[in-house]
Amino acid sequence: MQFRFLAVASSIAVIIGCTVPKATGKINFLLTSQAPTNSDNAQTAFFTHQSLIAVGIVVSVIIISWVLYHWQRRLEKRADSTTVTSTEAPSSTELQQQQVQNFTEVRLRLFQVAQAGVWGGGILAILGLFPQTQTLQLSILRVAQIPLTLGLIALCTYIALNFSYALIDRFASTITKRSNSLSPEISQRLHIRVSTISVVIKSLASILWIGLGVLLALISLGINVLPLLAVVSIVSVGISLASQNIIKDVINGFLIILEDQYALGDVIAVNNVGGLVETLNLRITQVRDAEGRLITIPNSEIKIVANLSSRWSRADLSIPVAYDTDISHALKLIETVAVEMSVEAAWQTRILETPQVLGIENFGENGLIIRVWIKTQPLKQWDVAREFRRRLKIAFDEAEISIPIPQQAIWLNDVQTVSSKH
């Protein structure tokens, strides 16, 4: 329905804009050739006839405008009644909402173009019916030719841009819908990757359509674009040689997205910087660290990256116990607390596998170190670790298992007075 409407609306706008001046000229020729010039009665009949034609044009314009308006309202009500189901993934829902918004924007602009074409064409046709206003008609066409051409190019560029956005969102939404049958881990990861790639493709589409619009505008103004393109090519080569880092950023950014090293919403660590990825494009990556700082990293600087949220995460815990603790009892208690937590309804969706109590990791300065691994959903390892430590502290207190506290013993020797003899 969307595509059928777009085709019809575009055809209306183009037909009205292209045929009105020609049709008006033919009507003027036929009518003026029959217009009497010697008799007052004949002149009166001529103007009466022309006035009736003008009234018919006005009525036709009003009817067409009314039909377009009600058609627009009907489609708006239908769009408002169409809602995205909440059972779908959040990323898929967002893509569908963006798609609807873009299609709505394109539809609105096409209706505006059709309305302007209908009223503008009707006014020009009426002005061409009478000899007294034909000069005004020609003047309007002459003066408004360039602004109308530039405005039409700008409008077409805007519509093409939003239409491209809608197609990209529809394609991405289709992929995310089909991925719902996959495992939750793979599906969630695919949603994140699709969202990231769609943002990059939209950026490329923006550059393409805006560049094409500027080129068409220059051509419509009668400017020879070949020398301009040659100059732009030379300047581009010079800029590329002077900005090799930017080229490296773009290439590395493309590889990051293609290889799915990380995506929007991931938590990464790069060099000595880490945080949540908020922006990812072909040139830069922006992460928000734990202190709320937004850190911008050129993609060319990203050599080794640690993704802390890809597919799954892990809570790596080191539990200290005193040396005089019954180690078998402590290991059993830690395993019991971990397993009970993993099967609870509030936590079983976050904990992917049965927790692993690896045993004694090391002999510390103050006690034994027991290591525990808990596999979790991405970005949930910190929540799980905090809750597990809380429960384990309560269990240790009930079982009278002490957690070693760093202590330091100081030995003081007796002070001996040594008398010196002179």
Examine residue 259 and state whether it is found in any structural domain, yes or no: yes
How far from the centroid of its chain's Cα atoms is residue 268's Cα?
Answer: 20
Tokens 């850190």 belong to which residue?
Answer: 295
Residues 352 and 377 in one domain: yes
How would residue 243 be classed by pLDDT, with cut points 50, 70 and 90? low
Closest CA to 59 of 118, 130, 133, 131: 118
Examine residue 224 and state whether it is found in any structural domain, yes or no: no
pLDDT at 223: 78
- Reported residue count of the chain is 422
Residue with the larger pLDDT of the pair 196 and 171? 171
Residues 80-94: tens digit of each pLDDT: 665 444 444 454 566
Residue with the larger pLDDT of the pair 316 and 244? 316
How would residue 19 be classed by pLDDT, with cut points 50, 70 and 90? very low
Among 290, 307, 324, the domain boundary falls at 307
pLDDT at 330: 92
**189 pLDDT higher than 70:** no
Examine residue 339 and state whether it is found in any structural domain, yes or no: yes
Percent of the chain at pLDDT exceeding 90: 15
Residues 149 and 211 in one domain: yes
Examine residue 407 and state whether it is found in any structural domain, yes or no: no
Residues 51 and 173 in one domain: yes
Residues 351 and 274 in one domain: no
Residues 290 and 336 in one domain: no
How would residue 242 be classed by pLDDT, with cut points 50, 70 and 90? low
Residues 266 and 354 in one domain: no
pLDDT at 99: 65
Residues 85 and 192 in one domain: yes
Angle (CA) 331 335 341, round 5°: 150
Q: How many domains does one find in the chain?
A: 3
Residues 382-399: tens digit of each pLDDT: 899 999 999 999 999 998
Residues 280 and 138 in one domain: no
Among 171, 189, 219, the domain boundary falls at 219
- Output the domain CATH number for residue 370: 3.30.70.100
Among 275, 307, 339, the domain boundary falls at 307
pLDDT at 163: 82
pLDDT at 171: 81
Examine residue 405 and state whether it is found in any structural domain, yes or no: no
Residues 372 and 273 in one domain: no
Q: How far apart are the first and last CA of the chain?
A: 116
Q: Which of 115-119, 140-144, 310-314, 315-319 has the lowest mean pLDDT?
A: 140-144
Residues 250 and 366 in one domain: no
Please list the residues that pair with 362 across neighbouring strands: 369
How would residue 5 be classed by pLDDT, with cut points 50, 70 and 90? very low
Residues 302 and 205 in one domain: no
Which three-class secondary structure string do you get for the chain? Answer: CHHHHHHHHHHHHHHHHHHHHHHHHHHHHHHHHHCCCCCHHHHHHHHHHHHHHHHHHHHHHHHHHHHHHHHHHHHHHHHHHCCCCCCCCHHHHHHHHHHHHHHHHHHHHHHHHHHHHHHHHHHHHHHCCCHHHHHHHHHHHHHHHHHHHHHHHHHHHHHHHHHHHHHHHHHHHHHHHHHHHCCHHHHHHHHHHHHHHHHHHHHHHHHHHHHHHHHHHHHHCCCCHHHHHHHHHHHHHHHHHHCHHHHHHHHHHHHHHHCCCCCCCCEEEECCEEEEEEEECCCEEEEECCCCCEEEEEHHHCCCEEECCCCCEEEEEEEEECCCCCHHHHHHHHHHHHHHHHHCCCCCCCECCCCEEEEEEEECCCCEEEEEEEEECCCCHHHHHHHHHHHHHHHHHHHCCCCCCCCCCCCCCCCCCCCCCC
Examine residue 83 and state whether it is found in any structural domain, yes or no: yes
pLDDT at 86: 44
Residues 317-346: tens digit of each pLDDT: 999 999 988 999 999 999 999 999 999 888
Phi, psi angles (nearest 5°) of residue 97: -65, -40
Half-sphere exposure of 330 (CA within 13 A, CB side): 25
pLDDT at 414: 55
Residues 303 and 321 in one domain: no
Domain membership of residue 389 as a residue range: 313-399
Examine residue 89 and state whether it is found in any structural domain, yes or no: yes
pLDDT at 123: 83
- Output the domain CATH number for residue 260: 2.30.30.60
pTM of the model: 0.48
Examine residue 42 and state whether it is found in any structural domain, yes or no: yes
